[in-house]
């Protein structure tokens, strides 16, 4: 290795090493603190759980039991606990991921594989929408969803998320554009219908990218709380539960308990990250916006 390249490698490694240690320190400190009692955390924030107070594994159980979101109903305040919030998260995340990936993939396929004028117009519309941002449509969007009676419903949020004018459209478009037309022609000659060609011939060729995009969107939707907070006020998700819990002043919501709750919420995402790390960080590329 040349001297210049070695210098670059060493300098990069040192900088990245310092940064990585910073992240690792934060995460490990938080994890260690989640096992402490409140007094131990307050008086010995930097040290391991002391022998006097011990390792409080039950902090995680307590966190699961006390994490709750108050909901104003006609009958008074109703509390939504972690189990129901988990259920809401699973429904919200899986539904939005499926709808978002499938619709974007389908529209990108239509735009890239069919030589109709309408498909070209649709493609350029997507480019324009991505590059021409609209600010402040949020009030109108909330009003529209309430007027259509789909506000605060899972169906409503799934319908809103079936939005294809996003960066992932370009990812899928690039993939489908590069698949030779001969695949489609051969399938047509063999008598396959268009839906069959899409699902059995073309879509499998984009499986890896679809999985990577799907995983990224799953993580994004699982971690999101601001959209469900606005559009699903009576169906709080677990991320929103954590957001509310972090500001809780109740006696049970001590700082170690809050940290324990944080790690509980991370478990599904960590499992996905460990299982699919290579696929998550595989090549996702889009050609950029030209013209």
Partner 1 sequence: MKNNIIKREKRYKKEEVIFLATALAIPLLQFAIFYIAVNFNSILLSFKSYTETGSYVFAGFNNFKQVIDDILHESNTIYMLKNSFIMYLFTSPLILLLTLTISYSVWKKVYFSKFFSIMLFLPSVLPSIVFVIIGRLSIQTLLPVIFGDPTLGEILNPPDGFMVVLIYQCLLGFGGNMIYFLGAMGNVSNELVEYGQLEGVNAFQEFAHIVFPQIYPTLISLIVVGVANIFTAYGFILSFYGTAADYSLRTIGYNIYINVYGSVNYYDYPYYAALGLLFTAVVIPAVLLIRKGMEKIGPKED
User: Does residue number 165 form part of the binding site for partner 1 (CB under 8 A)?
Assistant: yes
Give the residue, chosen from 39, 57, 61, 144, that forms a contact with partner 1 under the rule CB under 8 A: 144
Residue 136 gets the label, from left (phi > 0), alpha (psi -120 to 50) or beta, of: left
Q: What is the rounded distance in angstroms from the CA atom of residue 245 to the CA atom of residue 42?
A: 19
Site string for partner 1, 265-284 (x = CB under 8 A): xx--xx--x---x--xx-xx
- For the bound state, the minimum distance from the C-beta of residue 31 to partner 1, rounded and expressed in Å, comes to 9
Give the residue, chosen from 83, 120, 226, 250, that forms a contact with partner 1 under the rule CB under 8 A: 226
- For the bound state, the minimum distance from the C-beta of residue 179 to partner 1, rounded and expressed in Å, comes to 16
Which CB sits closer to partner 1, 61 or 281?
281
DSSP states along 220-270: HHHH--HHHHHH-TTS--HHHHHHHHHT--STT--HHHHHHHHHHHHHHHH
Give the residue, chosen from 157, 222, 228, 235, that forms a contact with partner 1 under the rule CB under 8 A: 222
CB within 8 Å of 171: residues ≥ 6 apart: 108, 209, 213, 284, 285, 286
- Stretch touching partner 1 by CB under 8 A, among 53-61, 70-78, 79-87, 220-228: 220-228
Give the residue, chosen from 61, 72, 121, 289, that forms a contact with partner 1 under the rule CB under 8 A: 289
User: Does residue number 234 form part of the binding site for partner 1 (CB under 8 A)?
Assistant: no
- For the bound state, the minimum distance from the C-beta of residue 135 to partner 1, rounded and expressed in Å, comes to 4
Give the residue, chosen from 84, 162, 179, 205, that forms a contact with partner 1 under the rule CB under 8 A: 162
User: Does residue number 225 form part of the binding site for partner 1 (CB under 8 A)?
Assistant: yes
Interacting positions 61-120 with partner 1 (CB under 8 A): 103, 106-107, 109-110, 114, 116, 118-119
Contact predicate 144/159, CB 8 Å: no
Interacting positions 30-59 with partner 1 (CB under 8 A): 30, 33, 41-42, 45-46
Give the residue, chosen from 83, 120, 121, 141, that forms a contact with partner 1 under the rule CB under 8 A: 141
Per rule CB under 8 A, count of chain residues that contact partner 1: 98
- Stretch touching partner 1 by CB under 8 A, among 10-18, 53-61, 65-73, 200-208: 10-18
Interacting positions 184-203 with partner 1 (CB under 8 A): 188, 193-195, 198
User: Does residue number 153 form part of the binding site for partner 1 (CB under 8 A)?
Assistant: no
- 191 φ/ψ angles, rounded to the nearest 5 degrees: 95, 10
User: Does residue number 122 form part of the binding site for partner 1 (CB under 8 A)?
Assistant: yes
């Amino acid at each position: 290795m040349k001297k210049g390249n070695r210098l670059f490698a060493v300098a990069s490694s040192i900088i990245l090493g310092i940064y990585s240690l910073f992240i690792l320190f934060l995460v490990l400190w938080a994890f260690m603190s989640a096992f402490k009692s409140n007094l131990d955390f307050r008086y010995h924030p930097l040290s391991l759980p002391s022998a006097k107070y011990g390792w409080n594994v039950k902090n995680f159980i307590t966190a699961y039991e006390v994490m709750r979101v108050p909901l104003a109903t006609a009958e008074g305040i109703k509390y939504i606990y972690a189990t129901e919030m988990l259920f809401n998260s699973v429904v919200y995340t899986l539904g939005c991921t499926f709808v978002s990936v499938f619709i974007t993939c389908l529209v990108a396929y239509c735009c890239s594989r069919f030589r109709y004028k309408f498909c070209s117009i649709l493609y350029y519309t997507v480019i324009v929408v991505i590059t021409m941002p609209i600010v402040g449509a949020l009030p109108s969007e909330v009003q529209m969803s309430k007027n259509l009676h789909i506000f605060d419903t899972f169906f409503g949020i799934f319908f809103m998320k079936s939005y294809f004018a996003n960066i992932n459209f370009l990812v899928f478009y690039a993939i489908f554009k590069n698949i030779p037309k001969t695949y489609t022609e051969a399938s047509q000659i063999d008598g396959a219908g268009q839906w069959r060609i899409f699902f059995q011939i073309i879509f499998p060729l984009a499986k890896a990218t679809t999985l990577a995009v799907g995983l990224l969107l799953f993580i994004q939707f699982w971690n999101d709380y601001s959209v469900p907070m606005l559009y699903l006020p009576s169906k709080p998700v677990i991320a929103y539960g954590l957001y509310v819990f972090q500001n809780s002043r109740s006696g049970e919501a001590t700082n170690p308990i809050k940290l324990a709750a944080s790690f509980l919420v991370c478990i599904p995402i960590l499992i996905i990250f460990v299982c699919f790390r290579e696929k998550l960080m595989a090549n996702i590329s889009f050609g950029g916006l030209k013209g």
